[in-house]
A and B are shown apart, each in its own frame.
Chain A
C-alpha cells in the first residue's frame, strides 16, 4: 500500500528529535492561546511567522499546524469552564459544555472534547494521506484557466461564509486583491502603486498586514469590552466516564468527524464551519432536542470532533492546490513562501519529506494534545486567570519585534500600525477582515493565471466557461456563481444570519 509507505516516510521525518520538539512547542502554544480568551490561533501564527525564518520549512510548518489544531483543544477548555469561547470554533461547545460544567460534569465534558478531538484528528490524518495525493495528481492537469476559476471559487466561498453584508464581503475581497497588486508587476517589472516609496516596490508585507489586522487590531477590539467572566469553581474531577456515557458519545463523535472533515476540505471551510454544522445536525437528529442548551453531551462531542477534523483537512487544498481555504491557511502559505517554497501539486513530489512529515506530525501532535489536555488540565485552568491587561502588552511587544525582524527595517512596523487601525475600523463598520487577507494572499497568483489564461485564449474571456475545452473551470465558475447567488437570496441570507447568531 502506497499510503503506508508515504506515511512511514512522514513518520520518519516527524519523529526526528527536532521536529518532535517543534511539534511539541506548536501544540503547547496552541493549547495556551486556545485557552486564553482574546488570543486565537490566527494572531498567534501571524506573530510567530517571523520566527520561522531561521527554522527549516518542515519544522516551521509542523509547529504552525500544531498551533492551529492545538488551539481547537484549548478553546474547548475555556468554553466549558468559563462559558467563553477561547477560540471562535468553540462557540457552540460553550452552549452545552458550560451547562454540563454547571451540573458538576465539567470533567466529563472535558474528557469528551479531548477524546472526540483525538479521534477526529486521527481520522483526518489518514484522510489527508489518502485523499491529498489523488487531488494533487488531478491538479497536475490544471491549466491557468482552471487555477483562476479555482481561486475565484475560494474567494466566492469566503464571501459566502463571511458574516453580514454580502456586498461588504465582496468589497473586502476586492480590496485585498487590490492591495496585493502593490509592488513590481510580475511580467514587466514595472513598479505599481509605490507612490514614490522604494519600500513599496517589493509590495506590502503580508505578515505585517496579518499582524496589524489580527494581532494588534484584535487587541483594541478586546479592550473595548474587557470583562472578566466568573469561572466554574468546582474542581475538575471524574474525568473518566461511565460505560453508558462512553456509549452515548461514540456516534456523535463519529458524525462530527465525518462532517468536519468534509467541510474542512471545502474552500472557505475550516474549523469553524464544521463545529456549527455538527451542532445543528446533532440537535436535529436527536430524539430529545429539548436537552440541547441544558448540557447535552452530544452538543460537546460532535462540534469538538468536527472542529478538529476541519482544522486538519483544511490543509488539503493548501498543500495540494496551493490555495488557502481560510485565513489561517493563508498564513501557512505565507510561511512557506517566506522559506521559498511554493505550495501546489508539485509540493508532494518535490518535497515529500515536508508534505508527509507535516501530515504525520498531525497525528503525533494529537497524541501529545491528548496527554497535555487530560492529565494536565489543572495547569491550563490556572492560565485562564491571567488578566488581559497583562497579556496584550506582550502581544504588542512580540508583534513589534517580530515584524521588525522580518526585513530588519521599520517600514513594516509602520505598515503594521496602519493596518491595525484599518483593521479595527473595518470590523467596526461590519466588514470582516478575513476575506481581505485571503484576497491579498491570492491576488498575485490570481492575476498571474488570469493573464496567462487570457494570453492563451487570445483575449477571449469565455475560456473560463468553455464547457468543451475547460469543463473543470466551467464547473468551478458555475459553483461560485451559485454560491454567491444563494447568499444574496433574502430567504437564505436570513437563515445564514441566524446560523451565525446562534
Chain B
C-alpha cells in the first residue's frame, strides 16, 4: 500500500478535523468528566471530541484510498485581503475612530479583485464611509467615536 494522496480534499479535510479535535483534547485536560448518570462539564465535549477525531480519521483515510477531485486553486490573495483588513479594523477602531479605521479597511479590501481600479476603489470607499457614519453614528447612535485618541480625538 502506497501513501499517496488520492483525494486531496478528503486528505486535508481529515487532517484539519483531527487537528481541531486535538486542540479540544488539550482543552479537556482538567475538566471533570463525571459519569453517564451525573455528567460533568467534560462529558459531552469529550464524546464529541472523540467522535470528531474518528470522523476526521475516516475522511483522512478515504483521502488516501479513494480517488477524488483536485483541491483546485485557493485564492490566498483574496482571502487575506478580505480577512486582514477586518483584523486591522478590530485593532484600530478604538484608537483611530470610525472614519480612518473604516476607510483603510474598506480601501484595503478593494484590492481583493484582480483588476484593481483606483477610481472605483476610492469612490466606493468614500461613499461607504459617508453612509456608515450617517447610518451607524448619526442614525443608530452607536457608541463609536468618529476620530479616536490616536489622532487627537476623544
Contact = CB atoms under 8 A, between A and B. Distances in A.
A410 B78 CA distance: 22
Interface of A: 51, 54, 165, 167-168, 170-171, 174-175, 177-178, 181, 185, 187-188, 190, 192-193, 195, 216, 219-220, 223-224, 226, 389-390, 392-394, 396-401, 404-405, 408, 410-411, 413-414, 416-417, 420-421, 424-426, 428-431, 447, 450-451, 454-455, 458-459, 461
Listed from nearest, the 7 A-B pairs whose CB atoms lie closest are A459-B37, A413-B90, A185-B41, A410-B90, A429-B13, A193-B27, A459-B36
B57 to A, nearest CB: 11
28 contacts: A54-B140, A171-B17, A174-B48, A174-B52, A178-B20, A178-B21, A178-B45, A181-B48, A187-B41, A188-B32, A190-B32, A216-B82, A220-B82, A223-B78, A223-B113, A224-B78, A226-B113, A392-B82, A393-B109, A397-B102, A397-B106, A400-B86, A400-B90, A404-B93, A410-B90, A410-B93, A451-B39, A459-B38
Interface in B84-104: 84-87, 89-91, 93-94, 98, 102
A461 B35 CA distance: 12
Contacts of B106: 393, 396-397
A414 B71 CA distance: 27
Interface of B: 9-10, 12-13, 16-17, 20-21, 24, 27, 31-32, 35-45, 48-49, 51-52, 55-56, 58-59, 62, 71-72, 74-75, 78-79, 82-87, 89-91, 93-94, 98, 102, 105-106, 109-110, 112-113, 120, 124-125, 128-129, 131-132, 136, 140, 142-144
A400 B102 contact: yes
B82 A396 contact: yes
A192 B45 contact: yes
Contacts of A454: 36-37, 39
B55 A167 contact: yes
A413 B86 contact: yes
Given A216-B82, A393-B109, A401-B102, A167 B48 contact: no
A399 B32 CA distance: 38
Contacts of B51: 174
Given A401-B142, A414-B87, A417-B90, 6 more contacts: A167-B62, A168-B59, A171-B52, A181-B44, A397-B129, A404-B144
